[in-house]
Structure 1
Amino acid sequence: MGTYKYSAEFRADAVALYRSSPGRPVAAVAKDRGVNHETLRLWIKAAETAEAPSARAEADKDAEIAALRRQVRELELEREILRRAAKYFAGETNW
């Protein structure tokens, strides 16, 4: 992905600082740590995702279901095309 400007420990400390001060805005914590507030938001979101493996597994499952549904639609379309082609060629040969 690329090199990180901040170490994993620094990011974890910043997230912990935000969580330990309820009611304090993300921007204030980010300013204290010397990072952009959107960067801190991304770190918080990533930490929440990492802590909820069931949510990640659920997202993976949803993505797989969506891919399988696309594949089913494609296969149904192919089957319909083949059915129509067989009907057309059967009519051409007068079977």
Structure 2
Amino acid sequence: MNTKLFVGNLSFNTTENDLQDAFAAHGTVVEANLMVDRTTGRPRGFGFVTMSTPEEAQKAIDALNGAALDGRNLTVNIARPREERPATSGRNRY
């Protein structure tokens, strides 16, 4: 089992520290990242948290999936590898 978790349905007011604090109650947080829009710099409403062991990752999923954080019910599950997207050159996209 992977130790990297996808965290979705985050409030745009949630910070990486908020995320780390929420998950730290269920084990050691190795890393917490919020995804932001490259253009605007605004949060995209999801992020990733890496726990130190698969057991801690499962514990965090069990405790936090559906739990409220900043007024939003979280979606927490094992992060899947990003799917490869075909490269586009910017031409012939219509």
The structure number with the bigger radius of gyration is: 1
With the shorter chain as reference, the TM-score category is under 0.3
TM-score (norm 1): 0.28
Structure with more of its chain in helix, by fraction: 1
**Relative contact order (C-alpha < 8 Å, sep 6+): which is higher?**
2
TM-score (norm 2): 0.28
Structure with more of its chain in strand, by fraction: 2
